[in-house]
Structure 1
Amino acid sequence: MPDALSPEAVHIGLDLGTQSARAVAVDGTGRLLRAASRPLTGRRAGVRHEQDPEQWWSALAAACREALTGIDPSRVRALAVDATSGTVLLTDAAGVPLTPGLMYDDRRADAHAERVNTHGAQVWERLGYRAMQPSWALPKLLWLLDDLPGSPPAGTRLLHQADLITWRLAGHQVASDTSHALKTGYDLIAERWPTAELDALGVPGALLPDVVRPGTVLGTVCAAAAGATGIPAGTLITAGMTDGCAAQIGAGALTPGAWNSVLGTTLVFKGASPHLVRDPGGVVYCHRGPGGTWLPGGASSSGAGILAQRFPGARPADLDALTERAAATGSTAVVYPLVGSGGERFPFRAPDAESFVLGEPSGDAEEFHACLLGVALLERLCFDYLDHLGAPVDGPLTFTGGGARNRYWSQLRADVLGRPVRLPEQAESAVGMAVLAATASGATLEEAAGAMVHLREELRPDPARTARLLPVYLAFVDALVHRGLLAPAVAGHARGKAGQ
C-alpha cells in the first residue's frame, strides 16, 4: 500500500464555492480529521455576479488554519484546490487583482458570445460542446479586456479562481489545470490553447497561463503562505479540478457509466465515459478524466436555491420541519426550480426561461414539496437528455451536495428516477480534492478513491411511487415543450424512456 493511503498520511482539500471557502484534512484511509469553512460574500446586480478575489484568499487561509489545528505538520503530504467553473479575473504581473472575480453565472458578456462562437466554431465543435455559453470564461475575458482603459498593462494575467490560490500558495505563478481552463477555450484534445482562434478574438497569448492535467505537481507551499494558512512549507501543491469534478472524485464516480449528481444552489452532473460526448445543443461538455476517459457533464440553473427564494430566512430547523410536513402531504404539484433570473443552462439552453408552477399547492408544506419534486423531475430530464446524446448512464449513481443531506428529498429523487442511489460518507468537493492530492504522493486516482471514498447508505426506489410519479414527470416534460423551452425530439426520447 502506498504511504499516501496510510492512516499517517494527511491530504488537504481546498474548495472555493459560491457561498463559502472550505478546507478539510483527510487521512489516507479517507477519515475526515478536521474541516473548517469561512463565508464568502458576493455582489449581484441583474446579470452581474462578482466577488472580491482577496476574500477568496483570506477566507481560505482562515479555514486552513482552523482545519490544521492539532495536526502534526510532518503528516501533511499534499493539497489540491477546486473552484467554481468559469470564474475568472485579471491580475497584474505580481498576481494582484486588477478586476473583481466574474463568477460562474455572470452573464455580462452575452454580447461577446456570438463573436467567440463565430471564430472558435470549428474548435468548439470538435470538442463536443459546439458553442460556448455567455457565462463561460472566454466571453467574460473579452468583456474584461474591453472594459480596461486602453490596452492591458504589461504583465497582465488571466487567472481562473483556483489559479489565484495556487499562486499565493507557491509564492509565484504556477500552471492552471485543464479542468478550469476548459471554459476559457483550452483544447482538451490537442492539449494546447487554440492560438489562431484566440488571436482572431484579440486575446494576447501572454495573458494566458500554462496548463497541465489535474494531479500534476505544480510546486510547493512557500514560507509566506505557510505563515498565512498553517499549511507546512514544502507541502506539495497538486493541480486540481472544477468543483463539480471535485465532487465527482469525492463520490468515487470514476468508472464508465457512473454519475454524480451534486445538488447545491444548482444541480451539477458529472459522469464518466470511455468516449467524448458531443452535444449539438451545446449544454453538455466534457472534461478529461483519468487515463483515457472523459468526464461529461452539465450545470443547470435550477436546484436547491429555489428553497431560499421561496422560503427566505428559513433556518435549518425550519426546513427540517417543512420537510416532515411536506412528506405527509402526498402533493403532486410541481415548481420548476429555476434559480435567479439568468434563464436555464441544462438540460436545455433557454436564456429567457422563468420558473412556473404546475398544479395548485396549498400552504407552505405543499409549496415546499412542489419545490422538492420539481428538482427531482428536472434531474430525471437531465439523465434522459444525457441518454439521448449517447452518454453512458447505466452505471452507479451517487448523490452529493447540501441537498443530499435531506434524506426524504434523496428518496424522492431516487423514486422519480426509478434507480438505486448511493450516498457516500464524506463526498464533497473539498474531500474530492484531498483524494486527488493523494496522487501526488504515489497513488493512482483509482487507488486513492478506492481507499478513501466510503459508502454511507444506498437508497432503493419504491416501484409503486415511481409509477405514480411517472405521469407527473410526463406532464412536466409537456409543460416545458408547450412553453418552447424543450425540443420535441428530447421530449420524445424522454417519453420513450418512460414507456420502457
Structure 2
Amino acid sequence: MAEPNDLPEVWLGIDLGTQSVRVLAVDAAGGTRGSGAEQLRSHRDGPRHEQDPEQWWSAVRTACRRALDGLAGAPVRGVAVCATSGTILLADHTGRALTPGLMYDDSRAVEEASLAAEAVAAPWGRLGHRPQPSWALPKLLWLLGCHPRVPTGARLVHQADYIGERLTGGPVAADSSHALKTGYDTEHETWPTALFEELRVPVTLLPDVVRPGTVLGAVCAQAAEATGIPEGTPLVAGMTDGCAAQISAGALEPGAWNSVLGTTLVLKGVTPRRLHDPLGVVYSHRAPNGNWLPGGASSTGAGVLSRAFPGRNLAPLDARAERYEPSSLVTYPLASRGERFPFLAPEAEGFTLGDLHGSVEADYHASLLQGVAFVERLCFDYLGLLGAPLDGPVTLTGGGARSRYWCQLRADVLARPVGLPDNAEAALGMAVLARAGTAAPLTTAARDMVRLRTVVEPRPRHTQRLLESHLRLVAALEERGWLPAAVADHARRRVHL
C-alpha cells in the first residue's frame, strides 16, 4: 500500500442523480482515483415525483466511503455537489426536512406555474425565462399552499443545499445555478423581493445565494465520521447537474458548446453576454467567472429510436444506415408532442416526408438519425441568430455519443469537428469545480482535468448531400407555422455561406 505522502491530492465531486448518487475522487490531472455509487428510490404517481431527503444523505455517506476506500491519508482538497435542477423541500431551522423532496420533474404545480408566469413577466421575461410547473418557484407555491402554517424558522432548501448542510453541520448559502428556477435574478445577483411579496412568499424562507465556486464552509467532524471526508475539507458551491456535465465536457470558454444527446437533445454553451431570446426557449445560468451559460432542450433526441425500434440492438442498423446519406425520407423526430427548442410550438408533432411505408427499415432508421442531426444544426442556427459566438470547440456527450456513426453524421451535418470527452460524468464536473474553488481558475482546472477521447472531423462531400435534406426539413417546419421565418431564413443563409 502506498504511503500517505505518496498519495496525490484529490477533489471530490458528488452528483445527486435521479436514480443514484455518484461520487468521484479525481486528481489534478483528471485521473479518477476512487469512485462510489449508491441507489436512490422514488415515489411516482402521475405528475407526482418525490424522494425522501434523508435517503439522499444516507446514499451520499455510502458513496463517499466507497470513493475514498483505499485513499486513506490522501489529501482531499475540496468537495462540490451538483443536483437535479428544481428539486426542493421545506426544512426547519435545524435542517430537518418538513416535506418530501419534490423532484425536478414533479409537475403538479400547474396552477401555481400560471400565477408565477404572470408575476415574473417583468423580471424573468427580461432574462428570457418562462416558468414551468416543474420549476422550483411554482413548486414552492404549491408547498406553501399545502402547508399554509409554515413553522417559524422554516426555510426553502434545494437538494444540493440539503447535503451541504449535512456536510458542514449548519445552514449554507445556495448557489445561483440551483436557485435560478426558484426565481433568483442571475443578472443582478439578488432575489427579486417585490416578486415574492406579490406571490405572498415570505422572503425569510429564501436562502442567501452565492456564485458557484464559492467556498461555503468546511466538512464538520460528524460528517467526516459519516462519510470519510477529512474534517475541515472545504465545501465549494456547486451547480445543477446539467451545468456540471458541461464542465466535465470542457465547454467553458466563450464560443464553446456541449451537445448532450440523450432521450432528448440539450445544448449548453458559453457567451460573454446574456442572450436576449424573444421566444423564451433559451435560458442562461451564470458561470463562476461571470460569463453566461445559455442552453436549451429540444423535444427531439435518441428517445425516438427506442420508440421506433423497441428492444433492438441499433448497431447493425447504424451500419446499414450509412448507405442512405441522405435518406429518401426526411423525418422530424419528436420524442413527444410539442417542441421547446430551437422554437416554441406546443402543438408540434413528428412527421416524415416521403414514402415511409415503401421504404426499407434501414432507410427509415437513417432518416431518424439524420433528423436529430438536422434539428441539432437548427439549434445552432438559432443560437447564432441570437448573437451567440459559435466559433469555439463543440463536444458531444450523452448516450447518443456512444454511436460512432451518429457522431460522424452529426459532425458532417454541423460541418465542423466534434470532440468526444473521455469522461462526461457530472461528478467529474463537480470535482473540477471543487478544484476551481480552492486551487485554480475554472478554465485552468478544466484544461488540466478534462480529457478528450477523440475528435471526429466532418466529411465535406457528405455535408453537401445531407444539407439538401436539412433545408427540406427547414422548409417543412416553416410551412407548418412552427419555425419562425427569420430563423428559417438564417438557417438557409448559413447553408449557403
**TM norm structure 1:** 0.89
How does 1:152-167 map onto structure 2 within 5 Å?
152-167=150-165
SS at match of 1:481: helix
- Provide the rounded CA distance (Å) in 2 between the counterparts of 1:7 and 1:487: 57
Q: 1:447 to 1:468 in 2, by over 3 A?
A: same
Task: Report the residue type matching 2:423 in the other structure.
Answer: Q
- 8 A contact 1:83–1:241 mirrored in 2: yes
Q: Choose which of 178, 181, 187 in structure 1 pairs with 2:179.
A: 181
Aligned position for 2:3: none
Q: 1:71 to 1:291 in 2, by over 3 A?
A: same
Q: How does 1:225-264 map to 2 (within 5 A)?
A: 225-264=223-262
The 1-side partners of 2:326 and 2:277 are apart by 35
Residues of 1 paired with 2:43 and 2:483: CA distance? 31
Q: Distance in 2 between matches of 1:289 and 1:213?
A: 8
Relative to structure 1, the CA distance from residue 427 to residue 358 in structure 2 (aligned partners, 3 Å threshold; closer, same or farther) is same
Structure 1 residues 265 and 225: CA distance shift in structure 2, 3 A: farther
Matched residue, 1:3: none
Q: How does 1:292-311 map to 2 (within 5 A)?
A: 292-311=290-309
Does the 8 A contact of 1:331 with 1:366 survive in 2?
no
- Find the partner of 2:431 among 417, 434, 442: 434
Which residue, 391, 402, 421 being the options, matches 1:394?
391
Residue in 1 that maps onto 2:134: 135
Q: Which amino acid aligns with 2:139?
A: K
Question: Given the alignment, which residue of 422, 425, 442 partners 1:425?
Answer: 422
Conserved? CA contact 2:129–2:282, under 8 Å: no
Aligned-residue offset at 1:119: 2.1
Q: 2-side partners of 1:385 and 1:19: how far apart?
A: 33
1:229-285, Cα deviation, whole Å (9 max, x unpaired): 332332221100112221222122221111111223332222111111111111112
Structure 1 residues 442 and 307: CA distance shift in structure 2, 3 A: same
What secondary structure sits across from 1:74 in the alignment?
coil
Match of 2:29 in 1: 29
Over 3 Å counting, the alpha-carbon distance change for 1:328 and 1:79 in structure 2 is: farther
Tell me the alpha carbon deviations over residues 3-52 of structure 1, each in whole angstroms, 9 at most, x when there is no partner: xxx98210111112334322111101111223333444545555444444
Deviations 1:382-427 (A, max 9, x none): 1111111111112111112232222222111111111111122223
Distance 1:229 1:340 in 2: 41
Deviates more, 1:243-252 or 1:459-468: 243-252
1:350 is aligned, of 339, 345, 349, to 345
> Once the two structures are superposed, what CA deviation does each residue of 1:101-143 show, in whole Å capped at 9, x if it has no partner?
33334433232333223222221233x3153344322122222
**Identity between Structure 1 and Structure 2 (%):** 59
Deviations 1:303-354 (A, max 9, x none): 233344444455xxx344443344455562455443456x332222333444
Letter in 2 for 1:57: W
CA drift of 1:213 comes to 0.7
Match of 1:90 in 2: 90
Instruction: State whether structure 2 residue 195 is matched by structure 1 residue 200.
Output: no
- Give the drift of 1:358: 4.1
In the aligned structure 1, how far is the partner of 2:237 from the partner of 2:24? 17
Given candidates 462, 465, 469, the residue that maps to 2:462 is 465
| Contact 1:400–1:428 under 8 Å retained in 2 | no
The CA distance in 1 between the partners of 2:189 and 2:247, in whole Å, is 22
- 1:156, distance to aligned residue in structure 2 (A): 2.7
Matched letter for residue 302 of structure 1: T
Specify the SS of the correspondent of 1:121. Answer: coil
Instruction: Tell me how large the CA RMSD over aligned residues is.
Output: 2.6
Q: 3-state DSSP class of the match of 2:122?
A: helix
Deviations 1:209-231 (A, max 9, x none): 11111111111223333344332
CA contact 1:92–1:156 (8 Å) conserved in 2: yes
What is the distance in 2 between the residues matched to 1:355 and 1:231?
49
Residues 1:71 and 1:470: Cα distance change in structure 2 (over 3 Å): same
- One-letter code of the match for 1:345? R
1:70 alignment partner, SS class: coil
- Secondary structure of 1:495's partner? helix
Q: Hey, which bits of structure 1, 4+ residues long, moved more than 6 A? A: none
Cα distance in 2, alignment partners of residues 475 and 386 from structure 1: 20
CA distance in 1, matches of 2:410, 2:489: 22
**Whole-angstrom CA distance in 1 between matches of 2:360 and 2:485:** 34
Give 2:397's aligned amino acid.
T
Moved more, 443-452 or 207-216: 443-452
Structure 1 unpaired stretches of 5+? 1-5
